[in-house]
Amino acid sequence: MADDFYPFVDSGDPAPDNRHITGASDPNEAQSQQVRESSARSTVYATRIAVYDDMLSTPRVVVVQPNDPRSYLEEITNTVYRCMKELGGSISLMVIRELVENFIHANFTEPIVSILDGGNTVRFADQGPGIEDKERAFEFGVTSANRSMKRYIRGTGAGLPMVQQYLENAGGAVSIEDNLGTGTVVTVTVDAARVREIEAHSARGAAVRGTSFTSEHDSASMGVAANGAQSPSISPAATGQMTQPYGAAYGYPQQAAPGAPFGQQMPFPYPQQPWPNPYAQPTDGFALFGGQGGYAPFQQAYGQSYPQQNHEFSTFQQHQQQPAGMQQQGTVAKVSNHGPYVDERGMLALDYLEKHGSGGPGELASEFGNSVPTWSRVLGKLGEHDFVVKHGRRYMLTELGISWLENNR
């Protein structure tokens, strides 16, 4: 079984002799047996696997007893993968195997594996010699495997780069950082919140790789009222805020009379009238913005027509048509301030949970396509807005999520 699990490395078995012909045993056989037994005895540290079913309680600890290196690596890998799948995780067996093999670089010194976030995060820690240049560890062909290690692993320096490629394609991340004292900690995750956490670890010296999906979410949420940001697609006139650009930078005189933002720069040969008091100040334009303090920079100019003195045409009608367009923009601003931003996948997930009562990433992947990690990220984002809550392995709508869904259909 172990040979099937690691098909690309030397089995380490002795070459066949001629004892069945000559009847004499190979004098080197006893020495080879002693070497194998010594190698097995050198693996003296048991591997502890901490399974976090609930972050509010202590983890279950599964202990894998040491064995010969090949069988030991196989048993650790299978146990970690089984525990991860039991929690609902979807990380590839290849990722688990490549990172378990790295324990041999630490001589199996106090290996610990932690499974968190419903199986979507796995952390590998040891107290070996550590990795001095963590950034180079992600380059193909960079390895510290010696000849004895290559009897049990490939040792080609392809492990961490392959893990990086997988996590980037899955929308997750992988980080390498120092353990307390000595050793290394490697974390792989496809959990949205954990990705942001380990990306922040780069500030303390960790080497992080992966595709971040937070920047896309943040840019799409620029118009969300929850954080008070304003979408760049909405003009200042729609939000009723006075902004600096309508000033000297745009050629408008700063000392112009009230109600005449164009000042003397108007191309019309009409004399400018002084404005000792407001002239036909409209009230309906101000009502467009819900009566809030301040109004759009152009509103006063459009709401007040210039007195015409026997001219053959008038611009009054043009000024009166502008508030209609501004009213549409005002409506957009109100809609954008209706709640947190939820994309199309998020709406599908909310509709599914409302219809079925509960669900998980696997069910959403079967229903709508895309990968399980993709739907895990979608549910993670909805959880950040308190629209869904996770019970065990399943997600359910909260009262806030039900209310938001009813108001945004």
CA–CA distance, 188 with 208 (Å, rounded to integer): 10
More confident site: 44 or 297? 44
User: Residue 67's pLDDT band (boundaries 50, 70, 90)?
Assistant: confident
Per-residue pLDDT at 151: 72
Mean pLDDT value of segment 274-284: 50
Higher pLDDT among residues 25 and 248, named by residue: 25
Rg (alpha carbons) of the chain, rounded to whole number: 34
The pLDDT of 5-32, averaged and rounded, is 55
Round to whole Å and give the CA distance between 405 and 352.
11
pLDDT of residue 293: 47
In contact, 168 and 210? CB cutoff 8 Å:
yes
- Classify domain 2-212 at the CATH topology level: Heat Shock Protein 90 (3.30.565)
For residues 192 and 381, is the Cβ–Cβ distance under 8 A? yes
What average pLDDT does this structure show over 34-62? 76
User: In whole angstroms, what is the distance from residue 307 CA to residue 272 CA?
Assistant: 9
> Residue 107's pLDDT is what?
82
Joined tokens for residue 282: 């409209």
Alpha helices (runs of H) in 63-158, residue ranges in sequence order: 69-86, 93-101
The structural domains of the chain, with segments of one domain joined by +, span: 2-212, 225-336, 344-407
Condensed to tens digits (0 to 9), the pLDDT of residues 134-183 reads 888 899 988 877 777 777 777 788 889 899 989 888 889 999 999 998 89
Nearest to 218 by CA among 333, 381, 334: 381
Name which residue leads in pLDDT, 23 or 375: 375
Q: Tell me if residue 209 falls in helix, strand or coil.
A: strand
Burial class (CB in 10 A: 0-12, 13-18, 19+), 219: exposed
**CATH entry 1.10.10.10 includes domain 344-407:** yes
Rounded CA separation 354/397 (Å): 7
SS3 75: helix
Pair 381, 349: CB distance under 8 Å = no
Average pLDDT, the chain: 71
- pLDDT grade for 228, boundaries at 50, 70 and 90: very low
State pTM to two decimals. 0.46
- Per-residue pLDDT at 340 exceeds 80: no
Stretch among 106-120, 213-227, 313-327 having the lowest mean pLDDT = 213-227
Q: Note the pLDDT of residue 223.
A: 43
Other Cβ atoms less than 10 A from the Cβ of 70: the count is 21
Same fold for the domain at 2-212 and the one at 344-407? no
pLDDT for the residue 333: 41
Task: Provide the 8-state DSSP code for 359.
Answer: B
Q: What is the pLDDT of residues 73-103, one digit of tens each?
A: 999 999 999 999 999 999 999 999 999 988 8
190, pLDDT greater than 70: yes
Give CA separation, 369 vs 172, 216, 359, 373, in Å. 19, 21, 15, 11
- Confidence class for position 68, pLDDT limits 50, 70, 90: confident
Q: Is the pLDDT of residue 29 over 80?
A: no
Please say if the pLDDT value at position 22 is more than 50.
yes
SS3 category, 185:
strand
